[in-house]
């Protein structure tokens, strides 16, 4: 079943809100259209500044696009009653690119992970404590971390707290914006495996935004490539990249052996 439909999205940041719109800049996103099935993982790759995070925010319903619509389970995110929105909210979660900034600096890790539970579940305090411990355990974090502040965590720990928070409500779709890029290889592998298990067990769908082609390839059922705010190519799991923009990204991967590097990089 189709979970998400993104139709003809255009995004242009206005210099001035309301009334005084000045100088037109090139749109950040243009004619972006794709759809996502339940339980599917869609990879989005593209150069820095190509509009991936912006697209992510639009899909999440927190930034209204200039044109186009986003349908989640058939409901338009930007034209819906607040009651519907609350239901959608639960099923549509996110891991932000910048983990540290996505935490309220005044909160402890416990308060951060607990927040979605407070809003959607009728849990008692002990139930919440139990659930938070379970979630932290899921992303391989010690439960002693719960009383710390975000600034006392390493970048990788922050990212995992973010993932734990996104998992708290058993959503249907998680937008993962560079969600594992500051983890070491071993942890990356563990988290990817965890995400894939959840995907199977709970029919969870992902939008996996990354510049890491290998991780994306490993994670995704389908990959779309973005360039200057447009989708330029869509490939299946085992297909090769063809579009010049994709090849440029692909060729920029460092080969694992130094001997093979020289040719490509120092021509």
Ligand X SMILES: Nc1ncnc2c1ncn2[C@@H]1O[C@H](COP(=O)(O)OP(=O)(O)OP(=O)(O)O)[C@@H](O)[C@H]1O
**Which residues of the chain form contacts with Mg ion (CB under 5 A)?**
52-53, 97
Complex with Mg ion: residue 52 or 172, whichever CB lies closer:
52
16 touches another protein (CB under 8 A):
no
- Answer yes or no whether residue 52 interacts with ligand X by CB under 6 A: yes
| CB of 101 or CB of 130, closer to another protein | 101
Q: List the one residue from 106, 200, 257, 263 that touches another protein (CB under 8 A).
A: 106
Q: Using CB under 6 A, which residues numbered 183 to 212 contact ligand X? A: 211
Binding residues with ligand X: total (CB under 6 A): 12
- For the bound state, the minimum distance from the C-beta of residue 5 to another protein, rounded and expressed in Å, comes to 20
- Nearer to ligand X by C-beta: 62 or 118? 62
Cβ proximity of 109 and 193 under 8 Å: no
Beta 75-76 vs 230-236: how paired, if at all?
Answer: unpaired
Q: Mutual orientation of helices 109-120 and 125-138 as an angle, nearest 10°? A: 120
Q: In 3-state terms, what secondary structure has residue 240?
A: coil
**Spatial contact of 192 and 200, defined as CB atoms under 8 Å apart:** no
Q: Which of 14, 74, 78, 101 binds another protein (CB under 8 A)?
A: 101
Helix (H, G, I), strand (E, B) or coil at 2: strand
157 binding another protein? (CB under 8 A):
no
Neighbours of 121 (CB within 10 A): 15
SS3 of 29, please? strand
Which 3 state secondary structure label does DSSP give 81? coil
Q: Which residues form the interface with another protein (CB under 8 A)?
A: 17-19, 57, 60, 62, 86, 89-90, 92-94, 96, 98, 101-106, 115-116, 118-120, 165, 169
């Amino acid at each position: 079943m189709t979970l998400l439909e993104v139709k003809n999205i255009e995004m242009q940041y206005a210099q001035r809100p309301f009334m005084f719109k000045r100088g037109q800049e090139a749109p950040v996103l243009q004619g972006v259209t794709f759809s996502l099935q339940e339980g599917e993982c869609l990879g989005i790759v593209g150069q820095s500044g190509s509009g991936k995070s912006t697209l992510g925010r639009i899909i999440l319903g927190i930034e209204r696009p200039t044109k186009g619509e986003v349908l989640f389970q058939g409901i338009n995110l930007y034209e819906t009653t607040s009651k519907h929105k609350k239901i959608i909210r639960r099923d549509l979660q996110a891991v932000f690119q910048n983990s540290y900034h996505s935490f309220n600096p005044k909160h402890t890790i416990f308060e951060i992970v607990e927040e979605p539970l407070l809003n959607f579940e009728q849990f008692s305090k002990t139930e919440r404590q139990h659930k938070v411990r379970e979630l932290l355990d899921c992303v391989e974090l010690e439960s002693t971390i719960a009383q710390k502040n975000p600034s006392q965590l390493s970048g990788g720990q922050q990212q995992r707290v973010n993932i734990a928070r996104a998992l708290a409500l058993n959503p249907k779709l998680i937008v993962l914006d560079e969600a594992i890029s500051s983890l070491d290889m071993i942890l990356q592998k563990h988290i990817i495996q965890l995400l894939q298990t959840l995907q199977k067990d709970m029919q969870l769908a992902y939008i996996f935004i990354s510049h890491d082609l290998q991780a994306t390839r490993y994670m995704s059922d389908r990959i779309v490539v973005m360039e200057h705010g447009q989708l330029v190519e869509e490939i299946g799991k085992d297909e090769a990249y063809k579009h010049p923009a994709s090849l440029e990204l692909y060729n920029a991967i460092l080969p694992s052996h130094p001997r093979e590097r020289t040719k490509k990089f120092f021509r």
